[in-house]
C-alpha cells in the first residue's frame, strides 16, 4: 500500500509541477506547453504520457547499457501495472539515447531529450556523463535518477540550486566514498598508517567509463585527507606490462610499504 501511494503521489506531483509551476534554477523561467503531463487533442480527448529519457551507452560491454536496461524497464512497467501501481490512463514513453559513455554525446542527448519535453532522466551511468548532464538538468527543471555517479562529488549535498548536482538522485547502493570508508576502517582496525595506491587509470571501465580506477583513487585520497592520520602515495600502472610488475613493486613498494611485520597496506585496483 505504501509503494502504491508513493507512486500515485509522485505522478500527481509531476502533473501539478509541469502544468502549474515548473521551477528551474534559471533566473528567467521559460514556459513550454509541451511539458504538461496530460493534454487534450482537437476533439477534446485527454491523453496522459510520462516521457522518460534513458541516457545510456548502446554498447552491451558496459555493465549498465541500453540493451540490458530497456527490457528491464519494460518488465518493471508490466509488474507495476499488474499490481495497479500505475493508473491505466497514464502511458510511459521511454526514449532511449545512446550516450556512448562519452560526456559530449551525453550532453547532446540531454539537450535533444529536453527538446522532446521529457519529464524525467534515467541515467547516465558513466561518471563523466553524469557530471555534464547533472550540471544542466537543474536548468531544465527535470529530475535525474542514476545508478552511477560513484565519485565523491556526487555524494555531496544536493538540495539547493547552488549545489552543483541539484536534481540528481543516486539510487545505487555503493559509491567510491563507501569503498573508501571501508578501506580506512580496515586500516584503523589494524593500526596501519601507510598505504601505497597502485591502479590502472582506465581499469574497470565497464562500470563507470573512462578513468574509473583513477576516479576511485581520487575519492579514496579525498577521504583519507579528511582528518585521517594516514600517509599515502600512488602509482599508475596503466603503461606497465605484466612482466615488469615485480620490478615495479620493488621500486614503488619496497621496504617503505612492505615488510615482515606489515603495518602498511598495499592496495591495487586494476581491470
User: Taking the domains of the chain in order of start, what are their residue ranges?
Assistant: 38-170, 176-253
Average pLDDT over residues 230-255: 81
Average pLDDT over residues 254-259: 66
Asked if 223 and 155 count as a contact pair (C-beta separation under 8 A), the reply is no
Return the pLDDT at 26. 81
Q: What is the pTM of this model?
A: 0.83
In 3D space, the residue among 33, 34, 57 whose CA is nearest the CA of residue 109 turns out to be 57
Share of the chain above pLDDT 90, in %: 32
* Beta partners for residue 196, in sequence order: 233, 266
Asked if 181 and 223 count as a contact pair (C-beta separation under 8 A), the reply is yes
pLDDT reading at 67 higher than 80: yes
Higher pLDDT, 96 or 191: 96
Q: 152-209: per-residue pLDDT in tens? A: 888 888 889 999 999 998 887 788 888 888 888 888 888 888 888 888 888 889 989 9
Beta carbons within 8 Å of 56's beta carbon, 6+ residues apart? 62, 64, 65, 66, 69, 96, 97, 98, 99, 123, 124, 125
Return the pLDDT at 99. 97
Q: What is the mean pLDDT of the chain?
A: 82
Return the pLDDT at 13. 57
| Eight-state DSSP code of residue 244 | G
- Comparing 35-49, 79-93, 130-144, 213-227, which segment has the lowest mean pLDDT? 35-49
38-40 vs 46-56, strand pairing mode:
antiparallel
Give the angle 196-201-204 at the CA atoms, nearest 5°: 105
- Options 2.40.10.10, 3.30.70.1400, 3.40.50.1000, 3.40.50.2300; which CATH number does 38-170 get? 3.40.50.2300
Q: 47-61: per-residue pLDDT in tens? A: 889 999 999 999 999
Q: 141-152: per-residue pLDDT in tens? A: 899 999 999 988
Higher pLDDT, 82 or 15: 82
Amino acid at each position: 500500500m505504501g509503494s502504491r501511494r508513493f507512486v500515485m503521489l509522485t505522478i500527481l506531483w509531476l502533473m501539478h509541477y509541469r502544468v502549474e509551476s515548473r521551477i528551474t534554477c534559471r533566473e528567467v523561467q521559460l514556459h513550454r506547453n509541451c511539458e504538461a503531463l496530460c493534454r487534450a487533442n482537437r476533439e477534446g480527448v485527454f491523453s496522459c504520457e510520462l516521457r522518460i529519457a534513458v541516457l545510456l551507452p548502446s554498447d552491451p560491454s558496459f555493465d549498465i547499457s541500453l540493451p540490458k536496461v530497456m527490457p528491464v524497464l519494460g518488465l518493471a512497467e508490466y509488474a507495476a501495472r499488474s499490481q495497479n501501481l500505475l493508473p491505466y490512463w497514464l502511458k510511459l514513453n521511454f526514449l532511449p539515447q545512446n550516450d556512448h559513455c562519452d560526456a559530449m554525446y551525453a550532453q547532446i542527448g540531454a539537450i535533444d531529450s529536453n527538446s522532446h519535453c521529457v519529464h524525467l532522466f534515467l541515467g547516465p551511468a558513466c561518471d563523466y556523463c553524469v557530471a555534464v548532464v547533472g550540471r544542466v538538468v537543474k536548468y531544465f527543471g527535470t529530475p535525474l535518477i542514476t545508478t552511477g555517479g560513484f565519485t565523491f562529488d556526487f555524494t555531496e549535498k544536493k538540495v539547493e540550486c547552488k549545489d552543483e548536482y541539484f536534481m540528481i538522485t543516486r539510487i545505487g547502493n555503493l559509491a567510491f566514498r563507501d569503498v573508501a570508508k571501508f578501506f580506512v576502517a580496515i586500516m584503523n582496525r589494524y593500526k596501519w598508517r601507510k598505504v601505497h595506491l597502485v591502479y590502472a587509470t582506465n581499469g574497470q571501465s565497464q562500470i563507470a567509463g573512462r578513468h574509473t580506477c583513477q576516479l576511485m583513487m581520487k575519492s579514496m585520497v579525498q577521504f583519507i585527507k579528511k582528518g585521517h592520520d594516514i600517509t599515502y602515495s600512488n602509482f599508475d600502472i596503466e603503461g606497465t606490462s605484466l612482466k615488469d610488475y615485480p620490478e615495479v613493486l620493488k621500486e614503488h613498494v619496497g621496504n617503505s610499504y612492505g615488510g615482515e611485520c606489515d603495518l602498511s597496506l598495499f592496495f591495487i585496483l586494476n581491470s
